[in-house]
Amino acid sequence: MSGGHLSKEFFELVKSIGESKSKQEEDRIILHEVALLKRKLNDVTASSSTSSGLVNKRKREFLIRLMYVEMLGHDASFGYIKAVEMTASTNLMQKRVGYLTCSLCLSPTHEFRFMIINQLQRDLQSSNHLEVCAALMAVCKLVTVEMVPAVQPMILDLLRHDAELVRKKAVMAIHRFHQLNPESVTDVGVALRRTLCDRDPSVMGTTLCILHDLAEATPTDHKDLVPSFVSILKQITEHRLPREFDYHRIPAPWIQIRLLKILALLGQADQQTSEGMYEVLHDVMRRADTGINVGYAIIYECVQTVTTIYPNSTLLDAAAASISRFISSDNHNLKYLGVTGLAAIVKDHPRYAAAHQMAVIDCLEDPDETLKRKTLDLLYRMTNPVNVEFISDKLTQFLREATDVFLRTELVSRITQCAERYAPKQRMVHSDHDECI
């Protein structure tokens, strides 16, 4: 859809929009474009000649220009019918542009959406897997709750299609149905368990997305899948997936992260289920420690999982050790992850706070406001009868220097809460409370 496939006219439009000096000038250019597109549409309606109006080879550009008009905030509804018509084109590229225009421009309640159902059904049953994929992509964007029953049976059949790309997009469509109406996919459990074990890793990875949502809604119904999730995670860490799923030599990091999120949901407050995860979690954390950002992301997700499932002291020690490296890093993003991860650990396991107390307080000196706020929340969580005087003194000292109104309000709130909690035993905290007032 670029280069020689687009006219000089469209190139000049994009160029003039980019060079416009004001919103008024931009609006004037777009209004001129709208008038031009309407004239082209009227020409093709009035004449069937290919020498005038919207000739066949320019239909695609017409819709692209239509989307450009809508993108800049102007109404182009006069051309929607052409987008609907183009979804029936035998040319695959024109069909895709037609579906794309409909998905971007038609509102969820627009009557034209229902005009596309028959074409979607035909394309979903096409022998050309590329047409099927185009229809599946459109289903994810265009289908409403009322339209689901009309296409769902065909999409369930496509979960067994020979082409892995079709199976993957069919799973994505089922996920979209679940987002629209969870009750519409209550009978797809068996099919999803089959696609979880699909021979193509991309289909398996896509299935994890909907299984994550299902596990979040009803964790009990999916606890029997924990051995499967653990087995998949183990295979990934052992580099059994094709190399194209690697990112900076880390095997399928985003699939690993999704699996860790699912395990956290299923292992929460369940000792028996959690015990089946301990070994693989320790292995994932160890293998991800490679010194690159995507490895840090996996380690952070491991920490979140370890602090959510039934506790294991060995895993907690490993998580705390990883977090200490984050907090001491010069990278602000890693520091933020470290503070957030330590907050998750000390929430239920406060004994890990003492070793990192000074490093956390040093984060208050960081110029990053977001990091400061997260650090204040962590310090409050770390407070106990032993360190309350020291932490309250640091918070009060920081309050004197803070200028942001919202930050000062949060500081006063934290110091006051500490004073109320420990005042009977700590006179210094009470004096800090008085100083705040």
CA 149/CA 245 separation, integer angstroms:
35
The residue type at 29? I
> Helix 313-327 vs helix 332-348: angle between axes, to the nearest 10 degrees?
150
Non-local (6+) Cβ contacts of 154 within 8 A are 121, 124, 125
Predicted pLDDT at 207: 98
Q: What is the pLDDT of residue 437?
A: 55
Both tokens assigned to 51: 């020498």
**C-alpha pair distances (Å), 270 with each of 42, 267, 301, 331:** 67, 5, 19, 36
Report yes or no on whether pTM surpasses 0.85: yes
Residue 246 parent element (H or E): strand 246-247
The residue among 261, 178, 263 whose CA lies nearest residue 228 is 263
The CA distance from 7 to 64, in Å, is 11
- Token pair belonging to 416: 């006051």
- Other C-beta atoms lying within 10 Å of the C-beta of residue 161: 17
Residue 342: the pLDDT is 92
**pLDDT, tens digit, 9 for 90 and up, residues 191-210:** 999 999 999 999 999 999 99
At 89 the pLDDT is 92
CA dist 176 and 197 (Å) reads: 21
pLDDT of residue 27: 94
**pLDDT lower than 70: segments of the chain:** 1-6, 43-57, 423-437
DSSP 160: T
CA distance 345 to 350: 7
Dihedral angle computed from the Cα positions of residues 304, 308, 314 and 320, in that order, rounded to the nearest 10 degrees: 40
Q: What is the pLDDT of residue 1?
A: 45
pLDDT of residue 86: 94
DSSP 257-282: HHHHHHHHHHHBT-HHHHHTTHHHHH
